[in-house]
């Protein structure tokens, strides 16, 4: 860790330097408990995605509340979390290339490690890497259930890979990865549900085909924050991988509930704290948080508690606030909480979570897998 945190434990929120990445601990804890209890009440397993937070403290809290482990997207992310004490990880992604596979296999000496595959040659390379250090890796065959990212087609292509995994002495066939990422941000409830019902059908067809060949799927994994209730009700998924629910970004808040209201299952708990650093015009303020403090791929941030103030025009270190529609007086030096559009790539821009409760800094958590994208 190279940079000092922008705050000290015990300090008042007003004194936290900016831009800083804040966690509102009350909201965050509610989100963690709500998901843990709901998944548990369905009799399913939760394996939250750690690409959202990249933080060992968060992963360990999720596991204290019953999560079986966490998902990672990259080997380096998994390495950072294992170093932070996380002992059960699924790299919910394909790992390709000798050096990466060697690192993945080495990690399995320290923690329970699983990985996804969608290619026969990759299974041979995984087997070789695992054999070289004498470990056994859990392997999920990834199927394409509509997201058109990685994954073989459901059915016979998946069966062929499962058989190949089962024949590899240092690999253990663990089941299917069937994540429908594209469905997560479908705004309309019924359309979102239909996308997951279609995905679940494809997963079910594949589970049945494997079963008729004598192959059981211990794990059928998928689900994100936008769709997890549907996977939970599907009768086929048994391990849910939602990640963003811990923070709830502005983009997820644009999804709709069944009655058409805005998606409010979880509370915003992640904020970029910013300072008004210039007031060049009476109705325009400039804050010190731009492209290097937040991700903009899912749109502009919202200003927490002030819907009439619009953020626009980010550059590296600046953003404009349009004050023409607000009565809230804004002065130079004021600090504001911004709700980022997309939580995961926002987190990856910061080294520290400044954890706040009751207006005070309660904890500082290092984002140990920040930048761990290889
Ligand atoms: C990102 C991701 C998730 C979690 O999605 P959220 O939208 O952050 O809840 C789950 N599974 C996989 C494979 C992912 O890539």
DSSP string, 50-110: TTTT--HHHHHHHHHTT---EEESSHHHHHHHHHTT--EEEEEEE--SHHHHHHHHHHTTT
Question: Ligand 1 centroid to 242 CA: how many Å?
Answer: 6
Question: Ligand 1 centroid to 114 CA: how many Å?
Answer: 16
Atom of ligand 1 nearest to the CA of 93: 13
> Which whole number is the average pLDDT over 32-50?
98
Mark residue 313 as left, alpha or beta (left: phi above 0; alpha: psi -120 to 50; beta: remaining).
Answer: left
Closest protein CA for atom 7 of ligand 1: 224
> Which whole number is the average pLDDT over 267-271?
98
- Phi and psi at 176, nearest 5°, equal -120, 140
Residue 19, preceding bond cis, omega within 30 degrees? yes
> Which whole number is the average pLDDT over 261-286?
96
Atom of ligand 1 nearest to the CA of 225: 9
pLDDT of residue 3: 84
Burial class, 204, CB count within 10 angstroms (exposed 0-12 / middle 13-18 / buried 19+): middle
Percent of the chain surpassing pLDDT 90: 98
pLDDT exceeds cutoff 60 at 53: yes
Give the list of residues 6+ apart from residue 29 with CB closer than 8 angstroms, or none: none
Atom of ligand 1 nearest to the CA of 226: 7
pLDDT of residue 2: 64
pLDDT of residue 1: 56
> Which whole number is the average pLDDT over 90-94?
98
> What is the pTM (predicted TM-score) of this model?
0.97
pLDDT tens column, 209-235: 999 999 999 999 999 999 999 999 999
CA angle 70, 76, 81 (to 5 degrees): 40
Question: Ligand 1 centroid to 323 CA: how many Å?
Answer: 35
pLDDT tens column, 133-175: 999 999 999 999 999 999 999 999 999 999 999 999 999 999 9
What is the average pLDDT value for the chain, to the nearest integer? 97
Question: Ligand 1 centroid to 182 CA: how many Å?
Answer: 10
């Amino acid at each position: 860790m190279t940079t000092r945190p922008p705050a000290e434990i015990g300090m008042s929120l007003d004194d936290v330097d900016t831009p800083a990445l804040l966690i509102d601990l009350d909201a965050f804890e509610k989100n963690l408990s709500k998901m843990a209890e709901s998944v548990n009440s369905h009799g399913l397993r939760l394996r939250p995605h750690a690409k959202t937070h990249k933080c060992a403290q968060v992963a360990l809290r999720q596991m204290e509340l019953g999560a079986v482990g966490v998902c990672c997207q990259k080997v380096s992310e998994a390495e950072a979390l294992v170093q932070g004490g996380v002992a059960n990880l699924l790299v919910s992604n394909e790992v390709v290339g000798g050096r990466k596979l060697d690192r993945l296999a080495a990690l399995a000496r320290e923690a329970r490690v699983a990985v996804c595959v969608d290619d026969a040659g990759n299974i041979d390379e995984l087997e070789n890497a695992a054999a070289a250090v004498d470990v056994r890796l859990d392997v999920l065959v990834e199927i394409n259930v509509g997201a058109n990212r990685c994954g073989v087609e459901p059915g016979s292509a998946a069966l062929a890979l499962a058989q190949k995994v089962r024949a590899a002495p240092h690999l253990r066939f663990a089941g299917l990865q069937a994540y429908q990422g594209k469905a997560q941000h479908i705004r309309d409830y019924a359309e979102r549900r239909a996308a997951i019902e279609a995905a679940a059908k494809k997963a079910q067809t594949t589970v049945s085909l494997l079963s008729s060949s004598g192959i059981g799927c211990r794990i059928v994994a998928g689900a994100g924050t936008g769709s997890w209730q549907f996977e939970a009700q599907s009768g086929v998924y048994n391990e849910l991988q939602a990640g963003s629910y811990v923070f709830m970004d502005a983009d997820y808040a644009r999804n709709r509930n069944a009655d058409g209201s805005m998606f409010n299952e979880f509370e915003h708990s992640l904020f970029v704290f910013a300072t008004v650093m210039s007031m060049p015009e009476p109705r325009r303020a400039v804050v010190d948080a731009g492209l290097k403090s937040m991700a903009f791929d899912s749109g502009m941030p919202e200003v927490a508690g002030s819907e009439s103030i619009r953020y626009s025009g980010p550059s590296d270190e600046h953003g404009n606030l349009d004050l023409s529609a607000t009565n809230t007086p804004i002065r130079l030096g004021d600090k504001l909480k911004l709700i980022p559009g997309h939580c995961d790539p926002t987190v990856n821009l910061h080294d520290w979570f400044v954890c706040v409760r009751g207006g005070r800094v309660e904890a500082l958590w290092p984002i140990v897998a920040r930048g761990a994208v290889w």
